[in-house]
Amino acid sequence: MEANPRSTGRLPAAFLTPGSSSFMDFLTEHQPEVLPGNRQLPPVQGTVEAPHGTTIVAASFPGGVVLAGDRRATMGNVIAQRDIEKVFPADEYSAVGIAGTAGLAVEMVKLFQLELEHFEKVEGAQLSLEGKANRLSTMIRSNLGMAMQGLAVVPLFAGFDVDRGKGRIFSYDVTGGRSEERGFAATGSGSVFARGAMKKLFREDLTEDQAVTLVVQALYDAADDDSATGGPDLPRRIFPIVTVITEDGFRKLTEEESSAVARSIVERRQEQPDGPRAELL
């Protein structure tokens, strides 16, 4: 009796049922097969080869937070893509960066953006930052089956908390476990090196520009030691994606801005290949 929602028939009952403001809940009710978490993967021998995104870094500064990612996707020892974008706006006041299986991750971000937008339209108000972080947690958890077959997605979520008036960073593990990070965080294969770099360079009183420089430095160090992370590619003009979230909302640095930061870092590293030196004591 009920028409296909994509044709021009009457809206099926599920569309007009009051209740949930969540797009994912609606899909679960109406079209569970399109939800990524509900897909059954046939048993496979070994792992599935698919492009993987690598390093994402975030750092907070008074008044906001920066989230940045390198541009490389790898498949085994092959560079699958040189200019992949792995940092996306989630909504006006938050952004998400993804490491892990690129295809699944991009789909997860798309659904996450839609989930936030849907809630905002239905309710007429935005979710709290914690609420957004929890929704992402649920989505990662629903991907656990895939993660156990080597198709994990591990994002980093950063946003400006309008209620508290400061930038906040949330990191995740494959099971959807969520933890709030103080100061800075990193995820992906190069995250160990990036975190090491930020540990030495991070200060509480960074300005926005300094925070941008910090994350690009960290990505440079990650690329320096991790083969799966791409550094600034000057000949091809491929530079890290850097986003800043403040009281004014989400902003992605233009190519000119991020290339200027990356070029100045590359220049300094000509003299000092290991980057700036921290105090010994």
Contacts to other proteins by CB under 8 A: 3, 5-6, 8-11, 15-16, 18, 23, 26-27, 30-31, 34, 85, 88-89, 91-92, 109-111, 113-114, 117-118, 120-122, 124-126, 162, 241, 249-252
Encode burial over 85-110: b for 16+ CB neighbours within 10 A, e otherwise: ebbbbbbbbbbbbbbbbbebbbebbe
Cβ neighbours for 111, distance < 8 A, ≥ 6 positions apart: 23, 24, 35, 36, 139
For other proteins, the closer of residues 197 and 262 by Cβ is: 262
For other proteins, the closer of residues 6 and 277 by Cβ is: 6
Give the type of residue at 145.
G
For other proteins, the closer of residues 86 and 195 by Cβ is: 86
Measured from the CB of residue 19, what is the shortest distance to other proteins in angstroms? 9
Residue closest to 226 by CA, chosen among 195, 190, 196: 190
Q: Mark whether 54 is an active-site residue.
A: yes
Classify strands 94-101 and 52-53 as parallel, antiparallel or unpaired: antiparallel
CA distances from 146 to 17, 31, 101, 124 (A): 32, 20, 10, 34
Measured from the CB of residue 111, what is the shortest distance to other proteins in angstroms? 7
For other proteins, the closer of residues 201 and 241 by Cβ is: 241
Classify strands 178-181 and 52-53 as parallel, antiparallel or unpaired: unpaired
Measured from the CB of residue 43, what is the shortest distance to other proteins in angstroms? 28
Measured from the CB of residue 212, what is the shortest distance to other proteins in angstroms? 16
Q: Which one of 8, 54, 138, 243 is the catalytic residue?
A: 54
Residue closest to 49 by CA, chosen among 72, 75, 73: 75
Which residues are designated catalytic?
A: 54
